[in-house]
Chain A
Protein backbone atom coordinates (compact mmCIF):
# COMPACT_ATOMS: atom_id res chain seq x y z
CA UNK A 1 0.00 0.00 0.00
CA UNK A 2 1.06 3.57 -0.67
CA UNK A 3 1.89 5.44 2.51
CA UNK A 4 1.30 9.13 3.05
CA UNK A 5 3.76 10.94 5.31
CA UNK A 6 3.12 14.47 6.50
CA UNK A 7 5.66 16.81 7.97
CA UNK A 8 5.96 18.34 10.37
CA UNK A 9 3.62 16.53 12.74
CA UNK A 10 3.11 19.80 14.58
CA UNK A 11 4.20 23.38 14.29
CA UNK A 12 3.74 26.70 15.96
CA UNK A 13 3.68 29.93 13.98
CA UNK A 14 2.67 33.54 14.40
CA UNK A 15 -0.19 35.48 12.89
CA UNK A 16 0.87 36.70 9.47
CA UNK A 17 3.47 33.98 8.96
CA UNK A 18 3.72 31.95 5.80
CA UNK A 19 3.20 28.30 6.73
CA UNK A 20 4.03 25.25 4.64
CA UNK A 21 3.00 21.65 5.33
CA UNK A 22 4.30 18.82 3.21
CA UNK A 23 2.88 15.44 2.28
CA UNK A 24 4.91 12.73 0.62
CA UNK A 25 3.53 9.61 -1.04
CA UNK A 26 5.63 6.46 -1.08
CA UNK A 27 4.71 6.01 -4.75
CA UNK A 28 3.45 8.38 -7.41
CA UNK A 29 -0.21 9.35 -7.20
CA UNK A 30 -0.35 11.93 -10.00
CA UNK A 31 -2.46 14.79 -8.60
CA UNK A 32 -5.00 12.66 -6.71
CA UNK A 33 -4.40 14.51 -3.49
CA UNK A 34 -6.66 16.51 -1.20
CA UNK A 35 -6.08 18.62 1.90
CA UNK A 36 -8.53 18.87 4.78
CA UNK A 37 -8.71 21.19 7.77
CA UNK A 38 -10.11 19.92 11.06
CA UNK A 39 -10.58 22.52 13.74
CA UNK A 40 -10.65 21.29 17.35
CA UNK A 41 -13.83 19.34 18.03
CA UNK A 42 -15.12 19.91 14.51
CA UNK A 43 -15.71 17.99 11.30
CA UNK A 44 -12.98 17.84 8.63
CA UNK A 45 -13.50 20.28 5.80
CA UNK A 46 -12.15 20.03 2.27
CA UNK A 47 -9.66 22.79 1.45
CA UNK A 48 -7.98 21.64 -1.74
CA UNK A 49 -8.49 18.82 -4.22
CA UNK A 50 -6.59 17.66 -7.28
CA UNK A 51 -3.47 18.85 -5.45
CA UNK A 52 -3.98 22.52 -6.25
CA UNK A 53 -7.67 23.32 -6.81
CA UNK A 54 -9.18 25.46 -4.08
CA UNK A 55 -12.57 24.23 -2.86
CA UNK A 56 -15.34 26.79 -3.22
CA UNK A 57 -15.55 29.13 -0.26
CA UNK A 58 -12.02 28.48 1.01
CA UNK A 59 -9.97 31.63 1.59
CA UNK A 60 -7.38 32.39 -1.07
CA UNK A 61 -4.55 32.41 1.49
CA UNK A 62 -4.65 28.61 1.21
CA UNK A 63 -2.91 27.03 -1.76
CA UNK A 64 -1.67 23.62 -2.78
CA UNK A 65 1.00 22.40 -5.13
CA UNK A 66 2.78 19.26 -6.22
CA UNK A 67 2.36 16.18 -8.30
CA UNK A 68 3.61 12.64 -8.20
CA UNK A 69 5.01 12.04 -4.73
CA UNK A 70 5.60 15.47 -3.15
CA UNK A 71 2.88 17.92 -2.23
CA UNK A 72 2.61 21.07 -0.18
CA UNK A 73 -0.13 23.05 1.51
CA UNK A 74 0.71 26.70 2.02
CA UNK A 75 -1.03 29.31 4.11
CA UNK A 76 0.27 32.63 2.85
CA UNK A 77 -0.61 34.71 5.91
CA UNK A 78 -1.63 32.75 8.98
CA UNK A 79 -4.81 33.84 10.73
CA UNK A 80 -6.01 32.93 14.24
CA UNK A 81 -8.89 30.91 12.81
CA UNK A 82 -6.42 28.65 10.99
CA UNK A 83 -5.56 26.81 14.20
CA UNK A 84 -6.41 23.23 13.26
CA UNK A 85 -5.06 19.86 12.29
CA UNK A 86 -4.44 19.48 8.58
CA UNK A 87 -4.64 16.15 6.76
CA UNK A 88 -3.60 15.15 3.29
CA UNK A 89 -5.47 12.34 1.54
CA UNK A 90 -4.69 10.33 -1.54
CA UNK A 91 -7.51 9.00 -3.69
CA UNK A 92 -5.81 7.58 -6.75
CA UNK A 93 -7.21 4.17 -5.96
CA UNK A 94 -10.63 3.51 -4.46
CA UNK A 95 -9.18 0.36 -2.93
CA UNK A 96 -6.66 2.28 -0.82
CA UNK A 97 -7.88 5.75 0.09
CA UNK A 98 -5.38 6.94 2.67
CA UNK A 99 -5.02 9.93 4.95
CA UNK A 100 -1.77 11.29 6.30
CA UNK A 101 -1.16 11.28 10.03
CA UNK A 102 -2.02 14.96 10.36
CA UNK A 103 -0.19 18.20 11.12
CA UNK A 104 -1.27 20.16 14.18
CA UNK A 105 -0.93 23.90 13.64
CA UNK A 106 -0.85 26.21 16.63
CA UNK A 107 -0.36 29.94 17.06
Chain B
Protein backbone atom coordinates (compact mmCIF):
# COMPACT_ATOMS: atom_id res chain seq x y z
CA UNK B 1 0.00 0.00 0.00
CA UNK B 2 1.34 3.37 -1.03
CA UNK B 3 1.04 6.18 1.50
CA UNK B 4 2.47 9.66 1.84
CA UNK B 5 2.34 11.89 4.90
CA UNK B 6 3.27 15.52 5.22
CA UNK B 7 4.72 17.01 8.38
CA UNK B 8 5.90 20.41 9.43
CA UNK B 9 4.94 23.44 11.50
CA UNK B 10 1.34 24.56 11.51
CA UNK B 11 2.29 28.19 12.08
CA UNK B 12 5.19 30.23 10.78
CA UNK B 13 5.94 33.92 11.01
CA UNK B 14 6.38 36.19 8.01
CA UNK B 15 9.89 36.15 6.55
CA UNK B 16 10.67 32.80 8.17
CA UNK B 17 11.69 29.68 6.26
CA UNK B 18 9.23 26.81 6.09
CA UNK B 19 10.50 23.24 6.03
CA UNK B 20 8.05 20.48 5.13
CA UNK B 21 8.77 16.76 5.06
CA UNK B 22 6.96 14.14 3.03
CA UNK B 23 7.45 10.65 4.44
CA UNK B 24 6.27 7.89 2.16
CA UNK B 25 6.00 4.12 2.06
CA UNK B 26 5.10 1.47 -0.44
CA UNK B 27 7.53 2.62 -3.12
CA UNK B 28 11.13 3.70 -3.51
CA UNK B 29 12.25 7.01 -4.95
CA UNK B 30 15.27 5.20 -6.38
CA UNK B 31 13.01 3.23 -8.75
CA UNK B 32 13.08 4.50 -12.32
CA UNK B 33 10.07 6.68 -13.05
CA UNK B 34 9.17 7.54 -9.49
CA UNK B 35 8.64 11.20 -8.65
CA UNK B 36 7.30 13.17 -5.70
CA UNK B 37 5.76 16.60 -6.05
CA UNK B 38 4.58 19.28 -3.68
CA UNK B 39 1.25 20.99 -4.37
CA UNK B 40 -0.51 23.58 -2.25
CA UNK B 41 -4.05 24.89 -1.92
CA UNK B 42 -4.88 28.20 -0.22
CA UNK B 43 -8.15 28.08 1.71
CA UNK B 44 -11.06 28.04 -0.72
CA UNK B 45 -8.80 28.28 -3.75
CA UNK B 46 -7.40 26.07 -6.49
CA UNK B 47 -4.48 23.67 -6.46
CA UNK B 48 -1.05 25.07 -7.26
CA UNK B 49 1.93 22.89 -8.17
CA UNK B 50 5.19 23.89 -6.50
CA UNK B 51 8.03 21.46 -7.13
CA UNK B 52 8.94 17.95 -8.28
CA UNK B 53 11.90 15.67 -7.70
CA UNK B 54 12.47 12.49 -9.64
CA UNK B 55 14.28 9.20 -9.10
CA UNK B 56 17.38 10.60 -10.82
CA UNK B 57 17.46 13.61 -8.47
CA UNK B 58 16.33 15.99 -11.21
CA UNK B 59 14.40 18.90 -9.74
CA UNK B 60 11.69 21.11 -11.23
CA UNK B 61 10.20 24.27 -9.73
CA UNK B 62 7.28 26.57 -10.31
CA UNK B 63 8.85 29.43 -12.20
CA UNK B 64 7.21 32.20 -10.19
CA UNK B 65 8.52 30.73 -6.91
CA UNK B 66 11.79 29.24 -8.09
CA UNK B 67 14.00 31.57 -6.07
CA UNK B 68 12.25 30.59 -2.83
CA UNK B 69 11.89 26.82 -3.25
CA UNK B 70 14.28 23.95 -2.62
CA UNK B 71 13.29 20.30 -2.95
CA UNK B 72 15.49 17.40 -1.88
CA UNK B 73 15.22 13.70 -1.15
CA UNK B 74 16.62 11.20 1.28
CA UNK B 75 16.08 7.88 -0.42
CA UNK B 76 17.19 5.77 2.51
CA UNK B 77 14.66 7.49 4.80
CA UNK B 78 11.91 7.57 2.14
CA UNK B 79 11.54 11.30 2.59
CA UNK B 80 11.25 14.36 0.39
CA UNK B 81 11.81 17.78 1.91
CA UNK B 82 10.57 21.13 0.62
CA UNK B 83 11.85 24.43 1.97
CA UNK B 84 10.22 27.76 1.21
CA UNK B 85 12.07 30.88 2.21
CA UNK B 86 10.70 34.31 3.07
CA UNK B 87 7.19 33.11 3.95
CA UNK B 88 4.32 35.56 3.54
CA UNK B 89 0.68 35.45 4.64
CA UNK B 90 -0.30 34.69 1.03
CA UNK B 91 1.59 31.40 1.42
CA UNK B 92 -1.04 30.23 3.91
CA UNK B 93 -2.30 26.96 2.44
CA UNK B 94 -2.70 23.24 2.81
CA UNK B 95 0.47 21.66 1.45
CA UNK B 96 0.26 18.23 -0.17
CA UNK B 97 2.87 15.84 -1.43
CA UNK B 98 1.92 13.43 -4.19
CA UNK B 99 3.48 10.65 -6.26
CA UNK B 100 3.90 10.09 -9.95
CA UNK B 101 5.22 6.79 -11.30
CA UNK B 102 6.04 7.37 -14.94
CA UNK B 103 8.53 10.19 -14.76
CA UNK B 104 7.87 13.91 -14.52
CA UNK B 105 5.33 13.75 -17.36
CA UNK B 106 2.74 11.84 -15.39
CA UNK B 107 -0.32 12.47 -13.25
CA UNK B 108 -0.30 12.21 -9.46
CA UNK B 109 -1.87 8.91 -8.47
CA UNK B 110 -1.49 9.03 -4.69
CA UNK B 111 -1.64 12.10 -2.43
CA UNK B 112 -0.87 12.68 1.21
CA UNK B 113 -3.50 14.00 3.59
CA UNK B 114 -2.03 17.48 3.51
CA UNK B 115 -0.80 19.80 6.23
CA UNK B 116 -2.21 23.27 6.84
CA UNK B 117 0.40 25.97 7.23
CA UNK B 118 -0.64 29.40 8.43
CA UNK B 119 1.65 32.38 8.04
CA UNK B 120 0.97 35.00 10.67
CA UNK B 121 2.85 37.12 13.15
Q: Complex Cα distance A34/B102, Å?
A: 14
On chain B, the number of residues with a Cβ less than 8 Å from chain A's Cβ atoms is 22
* Chain A 75-99 interface mask (CB, 8 Å, partner B; 1/0): 0000000000001010111111111
Q: Is the CB of B47 within 8 A of A43?
A: no
Q: Is the CB of A95 within 8 A of B63?
A: yes
| CB-defined contacts of B96 to chain A, threshold 8 Å | 43-44
Q: Complex Cα distance A89/B37, Å?
A: 13
| CB-defined contacts of A45 to chain B, threshold 8 Å | 111
Partner of A32, one of B49, B105, B114: B105
Q: How far is the CB of B106 from chain A (nearest CB, A)?
A: 6
Q: Is the CB of A100 within 8 A of B46?
A: yes
* Chain A 41-79 interface mask (CB, 8 Å, partner B; 1/0): 001111001100001000000000000000000000000
4 closest residue pairs by CB, A with B: A94-B104, A34-B107, A49-B107, A97-B49
